Amino acid sequence: LTGGEVMLYYKEVLRLIKKIRDLGMHSVLETNGSWAIDDGRTERRMGQLIEAGCDYIAISMESYHEPFGGIEYCIRIHEHATRHELP
């Protein structure tokens, strides 16, 4: 799931991931991390993504994304994904 920042459509993304899982396929979510503003929010969303059936998370980081959270948000996502064993 990619194209712009898909997490701007969070409820729809969760439904789509569940549908992908129900069809027996795997999902990969690509994000710039702009939603990972603190540990609490990141943990809640990570748990919901995993519960929906997300199999992989990819972090897209470049200079364009820096004003939207940047490397700190990406590191936070990586740390939470690692705790949940989400590749």
Residue 64, pLDDT score:
77
Burial 59-73 (b: 16+ CB within 10 A, else e): bebeeebeeebbeeb
Residue 63, pLDDT score:
80
Taking only the tens place, the pLDDT of each residue in 24-57 is 999 999 998 989 999 999 999 999 999 999 999 9
pLDDT over 90 at 86, yes or no: yes
Residue 68, pLDDT score:
67
Eight-class DSSP state of 9: G
pLDDT over 90 at 70, yes or no: no
Segments in the chain forming alpha helices (H)? 10-22, 39-52, 70-83
